Amino acid sequence: MEKSKEEFKPYIPADKVTPEFTVTSIIIGVLLAVIFGAANAYLGLRVGMTVSASIPAAVISMGVIRVIMKKDSILESNMVQTIGSAGESLAAGAIFTLPALYLWASEGKTEAPSLLTISLIALCGGLLGVLFMVPLRNALIVKEHGVLPYPEGTACAEVLLAGEEGGSSAKTVFCGMGLAAVFKFIVDGIKVVPTAITAPLRALKTEFSAQVYPALIGVGYICGIKISSYMFAGAVLGWFVIIPAIVTFGGSTVLYPGTDTIARMYAEGGASAIWGSYIRYIGAGAVAAGGIISLIKSLPLIATTFRDGVKGMKGGAKAGDLRTEQDIDMRAVIGGIIVLVVAIWLLPAIPVSPLGAVLVVIFGFFFATVSSRMVGLVGSSNNPVSGMAIATLLFSTLVIKMSGDTGISGMVGAIAIGSVICIIAAMAGDTSQDLKTGYILGATPKKQQIGELIGAVVSAFTIGGVLLLLNNAWEFGSEALSAPQATLMKMITEGVMNGNLPWSLVFIGVFIGIVIEILGIPILPVAIGLYLPLELSATIMVGGAARWFVDKRSSEKEKKNEASGGILFCSGLIAGEGLVGILLAILAVVGVSDALDLSGTVNLGLAGAVVLLVIMVLCVLKFAMTKKKTV
């Protein structure tokens, strides 16, 4: 991958035309965009994290196209993952911000957003993210080949190339989906096993808890022991240091934003009551500090990225003579951007003013450029999208407040602006990774870009339905769907507009984040662990420990294999639980869920939860340690 542009030859030569943008690839890609978009929306609203869908989508497409349909077409498989991964990226951008609108509606401050509003905001952000990336392809993907590694894009290309040698691991993903579906249905469907293993620790004035869900184990395994342990460290800090300190020293004190004495709150609600009233504000401060610090540290790179990206646009989107140099026509790109920005301004369903539409153009193109290069250097998982969203919200809320719109309408407008820009950044990063995969394989850029647009359209309307459904079933901000990022964005917007945040708690979190940065530890995973309930981080840690156990017994090559059995199986766990979560939400909305509930007659209790958790871990280890072909 260190070859220059002149030396580099793609796997499929530019003068060779093979099936790529076909009915088969579009249908499978759209289905995977819906599946992984819905699953990642559910996962992100539960734990505040999403996972890349590119490699699982590529593996599934190879399983269908190569094994079932007996077709030898690597570019069709690439098109499937291009369309399919768009669903995951758009969902990641949407769940960071849009649930805040539902949270305000639940407080009676405004009406709940309609399906049309959510879908149009997601659609505009998704399409703009792809279109902003088109003129940057030549500068970032072609000219910087061998300089910008694009880790996920390169790994996905290697998986597809390995698939050309035969074999298929799609069944591993499907096994994970099936087992997760069964586990999720046992816990949340028929409810014969409690959702969490909980042990009160009264002597320490706290409790230990771990949820029994397959997706959390999957997240921990995919993230690895380092990220999982950082998250768990944040949870330990919150639940075994700060909560006991508050209870010990609080006593009969009534501390804002709590409305009762700390002693009574702990006696009646346990450690969870203290977490809900105080720790989440401290965690919010730490998360905000992490996002802003990561953005500040990236400023030199951001400045050079934007400068180089704009320079590289000269001729960057022209259709070349070769198939592998053809982009969407620049006139169509500029026309599409203008139409979308005008739509953001004029459509009544999108609560953005003309000033807001201008902010979308400025921040949108800037952060699309930044995101595209950042993922090329550090990968999608390290892209500071949340920091970009926080910076956008802070600035847009201040501008809107200065314009005189200081009520709930101003806050709703700020969140709408932040949502569009957050989705733009996420989609631009995903598009650049997919174009990198296509560049290595010899795909046609124009066809991939059209595929991304198709994925964005399908995913936008999917995410609207998913958010509406999940909120109706469990409500955002509840224990089932904490929507951590969206809650944070809501708090930031309210804090800037109304000045009603418990700033002492927020700044405690900010300085905890600064201490973590001084120690040289990544802030965001620790801050997220502090912000989320312990029961989530504890189970993620179990998954991380399983990955550590497997890695200790694997070769260096096996450790780096992005298509290993463990990672693919865990990707299936996440997708399977997400899909059953959506199904259970449908059943809850139509009033059928109570008929499935067997907890009144069959209850396996704590022992059943422990057994189920152990079975999940053993299944992960089995698939992770079974020797097989790469793909």
Q: Which of 11-20, 98-107, 394-403 has the highest mean pLDDT?
A: 98-107
Please tell me the distance from the alpha carbon of residue 470 to that of residue 458, in angstroms, as a whole number: 18
- For residue 518, name the pLDDT band (cuts at 50, 70, 90): very high
Q: Which residue has the higher pLDDT, 48 or 99?
A: 99
Q: Are 73 and 19 in contact (CB under 8 A)?
A: yes
Evaluate if residue 279 carries a pLDDT over 60. Answer: yes
* Cα–Cα separations (whole angstroms), residue 399 to 342, 394, 406, 407, 438: 20, 9, 10, 13, 40
Q: Report whether 207 contacts 198 (CB < 8 A).
A: yes
Q: Is the four-CA dihedral 410, 464, 45, 528 of positive or negative sign?
A: negative
DSSP conformation class of 381? G
Q: Kindly give, in sequence order, each residue whose CB lies less than 8 Å from that of residue 441, ignoring residues fewer than 6 positions away.
A: 10, 11, 12, 74, 75, 78, 157, 160, 161
> Which value, in Å, is the radius of gyration of the alpha carbons in the chain?
24
Question: What's the rounded Cα separation, in Å, for the pair 531 and 263?
Answer: 22
Within the chain, what is the greatest distance between any pair of CA atoms?
A: 78
pLDDT at 477 over 70: yes
d(CA 344, CA 350): 6
pLDDT at residue 319 tops 70: no
Confidence of residue 317 (pLDDT cuts 50, 70, 90): very low
Query: Among 457, 406, 487, 397, which Cα is nearest to 98's?
Result: 487
135 DSSP 8-state letter: G
When mean pLDDT is compared over 139-143, 440-444, 571-575, the highest value belongs to: 440-444
**What is the pLDDT averaged over residues 189-217?**
88
Average pLDDT of every residue of the chain: 82
Three-state SS at 575: helix
pLDDT bucket at 233, cuts 50 / 70 / 90: very high
- 1-34 residue pLDDT tens: 444 445 678 888 888 888 888 888 899 999 988 8
Query: Residue 627: its pLDDT value, please?
Result: 62
**Chain center to CA of 46:** 11
Angstrom distance (rounded) from CA 531 to CA 48: 10
pLDDT at 128: 95
Tokens of 412: 């709703």
Whole-angstrom Cα distance, residue 461 to residue 484? Answer: 23
pLDDT band at 450 (very low <50, low <70, confident <90, very high): very high
The proportion of the chain whose per-residue pLDDT surpasses 90, expressed as a percent, equals 19
Bond into 257 cis (ω within 30): yes
Out of 274-283, 372-381, 557-566, 605-614, the most confident range is 605-614
Q: How far is CA 280 from CA 105, 186, 235, 239, in A?
A: 21, 30, 11, 11
Measure the CA–CA gap between 393 and 200, rounded to whole angstroms.
Answer: 39
- Helix 523-531 × helix 484-498 angle, to 10°: 90
Which amino acid is located at 241 in the chain?
V
Residue 331: exposure state from Cβ atoms within 10 A (0-12, 13-18, ≥19): exposed
pLDDT at residue 2, rounded to an integer: 43
The answer to whether residues 27 and 567 touch, using CB atoms and an 8 Å cutoff, is no
pLDDT digits (tens, 9 = 90+) for 209-224: 998 988 889 888 877 8
Cβ of 601: how many Cβ atoms within 10 Å?
7
DSSP string covering 190-253: S--S-SEEEEEEGGGTEEEEEE--HHHHHHHHHHHHHHHHHHHHHHHHIIIIIHHHHHHHHTT-
SS (H, E, C) 104-132: HHHCCCCCCCCHHHHHHHHHHHHHHHHHH
Q: Could you give the CA distance from residue 246 to residue 262 in angstroms, rounded to a whole number?
A: 8
pTM: 0.74
3-state secondary structure of 476: coil
422 closest CA partner among 454, 453, 390, 468: 390
% of the chain surpassing 70 pLDDT:
87
> What's the rounded Cα separation, in Å, for the pair 29 and 51?
17
3-state secondary structure 152-192: HHHHHHHHHHHHCCCCCCHHHHHHHHHHHHHHHHHHHHCCC
Q: pLDDT grade, residue 519 (50/70/90)?
A: very high
Q: How far is CA 168 from CA 79, 443, 472, 562, in A?
A: 18, 22, 39, 14
Q: Which two tokens stand for residue 559?
A: 């450790």
Q: Comparing 439 with 378, which gets the higher pLDDT?
A: 439
Nearby residues of 595 by Cβ (< 8 Å), 6 or more positions away: none
**Mean pLDDT of the region 411-433:** 89
Under the banding of pLDDT at 50, 70 and 90, the label for residue 621 is very high
Lowest mean pLDDT among 182-191, 308-317, 549-558: 308-317
Phi and psi (nearest 5°) for 206? Answer: -160, -165
Instruction: Name the pLDDT band for 306 (thresholds 50, 70, 90).
Output: low
Angle at 330 between CA 328 and CA 333, to 5 degrees: 75
> What value does the mean pLDDT take over residues 387-406?
80
Reading the block at residue 631, the tokens are 């793909």
State the CB neighbour count (10 A cutoff) for residue 195.
Answer: 16
Q: Could you report the per-residue pLDDT of 326-357, keeping only the tens digit for each?
A: 888 888 888 999 999 999 988 888 888 888 88
- pLDDT per residue as tens digits for the range 46-71: 766 676 677 777 777 777 777 677 77
532, 308 contact by CB (below 8 A) = no
Q: In the structure encoding, which two tokens stand for residue 361, read together?
A: 């153009």
